[in-house]
Structure 1
Amino acid sequence: MRRVAIFLGSADGHDPAHAELAVGVGKELARRGIGIVYGGGRKGLMGAVADSALKAGGEVVGVIPKSMVEREWAHEDVTELITCDSMHERKALMADRSDAFLALPGGLGTLEEIFEVWSWRQLGFHSKPVGFLDAGGFWTPLLDALQGLVDSGFLAAATLQDAAVAPDLPGLLAELEERMRSTPRPAHGPEGAG
């Protein structure tokens, strides 16, 4: 695993543990020699993960639409800052530059991004693994809701099980690497697609 795309909040959130988590993730990925691809922001958890990785000597690639650069949201000090025209292009570039996808605490943008790459994997458009860093049980309510979709017949159980979930980064990286080795193919078809 050379690079991971990280989806996370552009705000800090109310709990200081979220920022501490982002800082720890940045440091640990840098220590392991794993580069970060992220949304290119300088504030919130996005800025925290980028700054900590850079401080630890890690590679950080930011991908951000020009309109956000014009609003002065971009982190100008990352290893590489890629500007693009749209959110669609941003997500495609992030996916292309990454070997796996990782969700840290965040809001609507984080959800939209991780769900998109997860659905792409489920549909067979890529085989890169998707994971949720469930520190402090942050993602547990969402994962429980997704189990409800399985129970209702709108999501294949294999698709839900295909997402790597762990409470700490070492455990999650191990899960992602296992999925990279085995390249499981989630169920396709109507029961898993919608």
Structure 2
Amino acid sequence: MVSAPYSVCVYCSASTTDPDLISLAARVGTEIARRGWQLVSGGGHVSMMGAVATAARAGGAHTVGVIPKHLVHKEVADVDAGELLVTDTMRQRKQLMEARSDAFLALPGGVGTLEEFFETWTGGYLGEHAKPVVVLDANGFYSGLFRWIDELYERGMVAPHARDRITVVADLPAAFAALNPAAAG
């Protein structure tokens, strides 16, 4: 019996046109493939979401896209995905992405990325999963968010074990070190 490859779910923007961010997403996809891992993504073929999936496939990785039916046209569904799973709702999308993943990586993104990250982080610190949750804070993209989270921690609104469930890194090598299957154990 062949075991499934290690699966990394990548949360990222489906709307930016920033070439540096799209390049970052492509480098993430390339590295996932280089390691022989599988990509789980939001199933769109636009912006960073499309770049990470296209690069992962170009390197030989299996890709799983999960998209709710109301976004199939808006996010231009990634019909080239190894598996394209269409759900009825966003909640089902996130549930399936979490179930199919061994680790999570948040790249720069907007409200949707933040919502996915916060739900995954919350599930981790509440004990629903023990999977790594990594945030790639490229060029300080999330620095304001983590200043606020640190302030909440200092005020006693975020427990130490909750804050410790997130690994925030500044570069790709550190992100992949934190995502490594050995880090999940």
TM-score (norm 2): 0.91
Mapped partners of 1:112, 1:34: distance in 2? 25
Q: 2:107 aligns with which of 104, 122, 132?
A: 104
Tell me if structure 1 keeps the 8 A contact 2:14–2:75: no
Residue 88 (1) aligns with residue 58 (2): no
- Higher helix content, 1 or 2: 1
- Counterparts of 1:1-194 in structure 2 under 5 Å? 2-13=6-17, 15-71=18-74, 73-177=76-180, 179-181=183-185
Tell me if structure 2 keeps the 8 A contact 1:22–1:49: yes
Residue 189 of structure 1: aligned partner: none
Deviations 1:65-106 (A, max 9, x none): 112225462111111100111001000000000001110010
TM-score (norm 1): 0.87
Q: CA deviation at 1:131?
A: 0.6
Tell me if structure 2 keeps the 8 A contact 1:105–1:138: yes
Tell me if structure 1 keeps the 8 A contact 2:121–2:133: yes
Q: Which runs of 5+ in 1 are unaligned?
A: 182-194
Percentage of identical aligned residues: 45
Mapped partners of 1:97, 1:57: distance in 2? 19
Q: Which runs of 5+ in 2 are unaligned?
A: none
Q: CA deviation at 1:158?
A: 2.9
Relative to structure 1, the CA distance from residue 147 to residue 67 in structure 2 (aligned partners, 3 Å threshold; closer, same or farther) is: same
Q: CA deviation at 1:161?
A: 2.6
Mapped partners of 1:71, 1:9: distance in 2? 13
